Every structure is written in C-alpha cells, then in structure tokens.
Amino acid sequence: MKVLGISTSPREAANSDTLLRKALAGAKSAGAEVEYLRLCKFGISPCSACGACYATGECPIQDDFRVLLPKMLQADRLVFATPIFFMSVCAQAKILIDRCQCMWARKYLLKRPISPTQGKNRLAMVIAVGGTKSKKMFDGVRLIMKYYLDALDMGYFANLFVGNVDEAGRIADNAEALAEAFRLGTELASAPGAAEKPIEVELTGP
C-alpha cells in the first residue's frame, strides 16, 4: 500500500500541511508506505492549452510534472492538501490539476489505460483549510477535486475541511482537526473502497 501526500501550500508551517502530515502518520500506523511531497519544491508550468495531449495522451512540456505524474499514477492512495484562496484551491494546486488534462485526454479521448494500477482500488482524500467561517468556500474545492480525481482514475474517499483558521501554525491548537486527520488517514489506508459519496468532515477552527 503506497500513500502519496501532496502539500500545495506556498507557506512554510502551513495549516493544511500540518493536517496532511497527520493524515500520513495515520496511514503509516495502518501499515502503509508513505511519501510526502511539497509542491513548491518542484518547477511546474501552467497548461499551455496546446492540445498535443489530445493526440498523444502525453504533456509535451518539459518540467517537473514528468516527475510528479508517475508518483500520482503509481500511488494506491493520495492525500491532497490545499489552503483556500478566493474560495478555491491555491494557484500551485490548480497548476498541477490543470496539467492533468493529459490524463483526461488519455482516459476519455484515446481510451487508454491511466496507470499501471488501473482497475485496482485507488482512493484519495482532500484536506483544505480556509480563513473564513463561510461553508461555501469549500464548494468549489469539492467540484474541482471530483474531476481531478476522476482524471487520475481514483475514488473520492473523504474530505477534511477546516474553516476560520488563517494564521500560520494556528491549526496546532485544534486538537479535533488533528485527530480527524489522523483518523481519516488511517481509514484511507485500510478502506476496502470508496462509498457512493465522500466522507465529509467539516470543522471550524478556534
């Protein structure tokens, strides 16, 4: 069982990153092999809308996406963590998601296998942390992640959304959020399959 964690926040000591690390600790406690990646350490260009992937299923841009994509496709489980910027995922996360257009093309236009583990029970959970109390700020994240995970051929297992947390490191004061991240990470690693709808855990920070 390989669990990949992708932290997309541009900020050091990010709240979403802290929850991601807790989720990975939970997965590891369930016996999984975990890998943590901080997206800001990689150089990824935006999608150029060149259309080349519609014919090949491959993105022609030569950058670190070529390193990240195999890791996403080989993972049995994915934990994707993002802060909320203007009611959506952060720019770094969106660039990575948009570059997966080649996977959409491979799956739906070319009808080719997505990954070497296609057909297996591949699952993902999403962690998002925002600074306001509005529950609507997570609506866009749900929709974006639904189609991103579909392009990767992964089942949508769970969401952990925490609002009213803005200051760097503040999530450390929220014992409930930390405990939920660990619990969901443990369940993700041991889950037999995704439910019809993702598990929803939505909390408000201190």
Mean pLDDT (10-residue bins), the chain, 206 residues: 96 93 97 96 96 94 96 95 94 97 95 73 95 89 96 95 90 94 96 85 87
Q: Which pLDDT value is given to residue 159?
A: 97
Top-tier CATH class for 2-204: alpha beta
Q: 106 phi and psi, to 5 degrees?
A: -65, -40
pTM for the model stands at: 0.94
- For residue 58 the two structure tokens come to 């491959």
Q: Which pLDDT value is given to residue 118?
A: 57
The answer to whether residues 11 and 90 touch, using CB atoms and an 8 Å cutoff, is: no
- For residue 157 the two structure tokens come to 């297992």
Q: Which pLDDT value is given to residue 117?
A: 61
Q: Which pLDDT value is given to residue 206?
A: 73
Q: What's the CA dihedral at 91, 63, 54, 5 to 10 degrees?
A: -60
Q: Which pLDDT value is given to residue 116?
A: 67
Cβ neighbours around 187 below 10 Å, total? 18
Q: 126-163 burial, b if ≥16 CB within 10 A, otherwise e? A: bbbbbbeeeeebbeebeebbeebbebbbbbbbbbbbbb
Q: Which pLDDT value is given to residue 119?
A: 54
Q: Which class for 101: exposed (0-12), middle (13-18), buried (19 or more C-beta within 10 A)?
A: middle
